[in-house]
Structure 1
């Protein structure tokens, strides 16, 4: 009986037996570049907000194709864009639905203040006309409730506003 060993950091998948002897392996295709808009994708991948900012990660498409994302640096993977495999094929990048908090202020004129509190803590936030969405954060939800906000758990895609500092996310920002 053989066992498949999958390691995110490996380009190869090894099949080993119970004595740890390698029985075989196959090489993963690699995605080394990204396009802003998919043109002729052969497959697609649904990624959470967190997984849309990666440099190197083993991934699997909707149809079950495995590949290695191997970019020179971590970048924001664009929704609607494409990962380009070494064989030239495109994989369309889609946003995955995820559990989020919908934050609705008691009065609509309080939305700027609520947005300020979220931004002041460098939390990713998606702003709509009368509410905003944030990633689940139960401690912060309690603070928002104390500001008379209604907090609901929803399941939707998350595309927060890009930070003013750094490369779309606020990783390099300091005070």
Structure 2
């Protein structure tokens, strides 16, 4: 089966619609969410090809296939993250500047800044005494690098 578009996201379905169907999941690493073309396998062993016609990133909960009885949806594997919890705008500005100089992508959830684990960033946070923790967490979206050059 070749998937060329996303049907919907599970967040758009009501509870009843979702639970009357058998759910199969395709587990992807967060970095694979940005790939338009890939071969994947569901947790039930069904092989699928994904070739999205419209350029868009996949998101956790995206439904790749749905009929009256079945749903095949995207789920994301956990990432090893540094969860940064700055106490002030000064700390936020400091770490944002440092991460920007390293071209590291970040995501934000509430008051937390999330970056993929890197031992050098961990050492920097310790040196700057900015609160953080290391944890495994599922992200809904992939980290995106923003194109930039130092010309």
Does TM-score exceed 0.5, indicating one fold?
yes
- Indicate how the Cα distance of structure 1 residues 114 and 160 shifts in structure 2: closer, same or farther if over 3 A, else same: farther
Measured against aligned partners, the alpha-carbon deviations of 1:24-76 in whole angstroms (never above 9, x if no partner) come to xxxxx222222342456742223221011112222111222221222347631
Task: Give unpaired runs (5+ residues) of structure 2.
Answer: none
Correspondence for 1:37: 9
Is 1:50 the equivalent of 2:31? yes
Is 1:115 the equivalent of 2:96? yes
Larger radius of gyration: 1
Tell me the distance in 1 between the aligned counterparts of 2:43 and 2:34: 19
1:157 to 129, 138, 149: 138
- The 3-state SS of whatever aligns with 1:64 is coil
Correspondence for 1:65: 46
Question: 1:103·1:149 contact (CA, 8 Å) conserved in 2?
Answer: yes
- The 3-state SS of whatever aligns with 1:75 is coil
Q: For residues 1-175 of structure 1, what are the structure 2 equivalents within 5 Å?
A: 29-38=1-10, 42-72=23-53, 75-84=56-65, 90-105=71-86, 107-109=87-89, 110-159=91-140, 169-171=144-146, 173-175=147-149
Q: Per residue, is there more helix in 1 or in 2?
A: 2
- The 3-state SS of whatever aligns with 2:148 is coil
Tell me the distance in 1 between the aligned counterparts of 2:37 and 2:131: 38
Tell me the distance in 2 between the aligned counterparts of 1:129 and 1:71: 31
- The 3-state SS of whatever aligns with 2:59 is coil
Q: Give the superposition deviation at 1:151.
A: 4.1
Tell me the distance in 2 between the aligned counterparts of 1:50 and 1:161: 6
Q: How many residues align?
A: 136
Tell me the distance in 2 between the aligned counterparts of 1:128 and 1:32: 30
Higher relative contact order (CA 8 A, sep 6+): 2
RMSD: 3.0
Task: Give unpaired runs (5+ residues) of structure 1.
Answer: 1-28, 163-168
